[in-house]
Amino acid sequence: PQWMIDALEFFESVEAGDAWVELLEVWAEFEKTMGYPDGKRISAKSRPEEVARWISGGRSYDKVPVPDSLDRYATQWKSWWTKLQPACRKSAKGWPLPQVCPDNDAEWDGLRRGGCNGFFIIVMALAIWASALDDESAEEFLEIVEDVTWVCSTLTETHPSGSKRGSSEESEESEEARPRKRARA
């Protein structure tokens, strides 16, 4: 879909390192597995105000808001992300969140939402964060990106439609439409 093409083009212009590129690859696979739905929204409760401003401003990639306070944005983002998680991932210790899966896969339902109002909004919120990134906040951002990548990968792997990998025929047809994966050393 056009929204996905536009989103990937914008996200690929964001310079946030190899972990960011990996997230984009995993997210593109997630959307493909979900079938590019036009359905359920990710909860907006506690979502950073810049994300709401971008959405209400027409979702223009030319007018992506830059957070006034990176500390405030990071705090709001982490609060929002934590509220979206299954109970087993919430920790009294705070960050990083434990990378554990719930016993009941349905607990992922609040996050297993594809389309332009689904997980995409989480990735967009990270792109907004990346726009204000500095050396001081880079490590925290990387930690968050790695956690979001883990969740997105887990959602893809546990999706009821099947495994993470499609048929080889599907894979060949869509190879040009998704970012290339790096070889692991």
pLDDT tens digits, 18-53: 999 999 999 999 999 999 998 789 999 999 999 999
Q: Is residue 56 part of a domain?
A: yes
Residue 47 lies in a domain: yes
Q: What is the pLDDT of residues 86-129, one digit of tens each?
A: 999 998 888 899 999 999 989 999 999 999 999 999 999 999 99
Cα 52 to Cα 88, 130, 153, 159, distances in angstroms: 28, 17, 26, 28
| First-to-final CA distance of the chain | 33
Is 108 among the domain residues? Answer: yes
d(CA 98, CA 150): 11
Predicted TM-score of the model (pTM): 0.85
Q: What is the pLDDT of residue 167?
A: 34
> Is there a domain that residue 181 lies in?
no
pLDDT band at residue 137 under the 50/70/90 scheme: confident
Q: For residues 181 and 97, give the distance between their C-alpha atoms in angstroms, rounded to a whole number.
A: 26
Examine residue 182 and state whether it is found in any structural domain, yes or no: no
Decide if 33 contacts 161 (C-beta within 8 A). yes
Range of the domain at 137: 2-175
Helix (H, G, I), strand (E, B) or coil at 96: coil
Q: How far is CA 161 from the centre of its chain?
A: 20
CA 13 to chain centroid, in Å, comes to 16
How many Å apart are CA 131 and CA 141, to the nearest integer? 11
Q: How many domains are contained in the chain?
A: 1
